[in-house]
Amino acid sequence: MAPKIILTRPLPAEKGLEGGALLDQAERAGLVRVVRWTKDEPVDRKWLLEELGKGDTDGLLCMHNGEKIDEELLEAAGSSLKVVSTMSAGYDHVDVSALKKRNIRFGTTPDALTDATADIGAMLALMATRRAGEGIRAVLDGKWPEMPWNPLLLCGHGLQNTTVGVIGFGKIGQTTLKRLLGFGIKRCLYSTSRVGAPLDSSRDYFKTLPLADYLGIEVRPAESYDEIARESDLVVLCCPLTPQTKHLVDAEFLSKVKPTACVVNTARGPVIDTDALVAAIREGRLASAGLDVVTGEPDIPADHPLVKEERIVLVPHIGSATIQARSGMSRDAARNCLAGVGVEGFEWANEV
């Protein structure tokens, strides 16, 4: 019998998602059987446990948002499961050691979303530093007529001649930096997974070390997170969420930042301690923040402090939300899954 794949969200080929087309083709050719969760909302855990519990699943193609791949799920799947493929770059929702223990292969999609996420990082940096969030709120609330132009109306801090601290200097971090060059930044301090360590050539996305020569600005590893906090006009978070990066931006970090600085997060919400961020902004110790991700998302009501705080620009986790990126992510996730269940002609896009 053809291998069975469970797909935890629709990937409509007719809407341009290449991964959906690949799975449909493989299914039509009788190479796989695909069992689909058909709603556009996170898969019901009970349904998934029951489906996996049949003991005949070879591959699981899952998403980041609202799903947890943990011991309970893998126990339910039993020994038939060969591959878990997540359609995401981040994989803090997956218990990787539980997979490894069972020799289940694991794929992610870190390549297709680099540009889209870097765009959102640059957009948030601009919107937050230029107080666009406040301006948009004022217009939508009909307050513009009460706000005649004056020399200091909604003046923010430009990015010209600034220092940018990039925490998490992988593909997305480096590409975000490249976007920001267009706005006149003059220096970058970065941290890789080992703060203080210089980028090694295997992690140089542009294949151009030394980066300073390529980018035409000073680029060097920060000595410490403290140095990033103290020196940066803009801190951009692009790191994975790990026990080491959880609450990396906390009250202590925020006690060192410049009052004119901005923090942008395109990584994962819990990298920032929300309460500490809100307090720093309210007390004028940090000028602004631009957030694509927050702790507790998507359950963020309109009266949440992050929403109410005008100096925070908050968008609902849309870093990779372009058709191009999502199509590429779906393609890579489908490839990982099809290769992992052993369908000939499919190569892994990325295996962790």
* Residues of this chain that bind ligand DGY (CB under 6 A): 64-65, 88-90, 113, 319-320
Give me the phi and psi of 190, to 5 degrees please. -125, 160
C-beta of 58 vs 67, nearer to ligand DGY: 67
For ligand DGY, the closer CB: 320 or 336: 320
Q: Is the peptide bond before 259 cis (omega within 30 degrees of 0)?
A: no
What single-letter DSSP state applies at residue 69? B
Least distance between ligand DGY and beta carbon 44 (Å): 19
Alpha helix stretches (DSSP H) within the chain = 18-28, 45-53, 71-77, 96-101, 114-129, 132-140, 171-181, 211-215, 225-231, 251-254, 274-282, 305-308, 323-340
Nearer to ligand DGY, 65 or 255 (CB): 65
- 235 closest CA partner among 161, 294, 162: 162
Question: What is the rounded (10 degree) CA torsion for 165, 91, 85, 9?
Answer: -100
DSSP-based three-state secondary structure for 341: coil
Closest CB to ligand DGY among residues 18, 58: 18
247 is catalytic: no
Euclidean distance between the first and the last CA atom of the chain, given in angstroms as a whole number: 28
Least distance between ligand DGY and beta carbon 295 (Å): 14
Give the Cα separation of 132 and 125 in Å (integer). 10
Minimum distance, C-beta of residue 320 to ligand DGY, in the bound complex (Å): 5
Burial of 301 (0-12, 13-18, 19+ CB in 10 A): exposed
Residue (of 5, 20, 6, 1) closest to 323 by Cα position: 20
Residue 113: CB minimum distance to ligand DGY, A? 6
3-state DSSP assignment of residue 224 = coil
For the bound state, the minimum distance from the C-beta of residue 154 to ligand DGY, rounded and expressed in Å, comes to 30
What's the closest the beta carbon of residue 221 comes to ligand DGY, in angstroms? 24
Between 162 and 274, whose beta carbon lies closer to ligand DGY? 274
Choosing from 64, 93, 157, 317, which is the catalytic residue? 317
Are 91 and 70 in contact by the 8 Å Cβ rule? The answer is no
Helix, strand, coil % (nearest 5) of the chain? 35, 15, 50
Q: Are 199 and 173 contacting, i.e. CB atoms less than 8 angstroms apart?
A: no
The nearer residue to ligand DGY, 163 or 336, going by C-beta atoms, is: 336
Instruction: Report, as residue numbers or ranges, the catalytic residues.
Output: 317
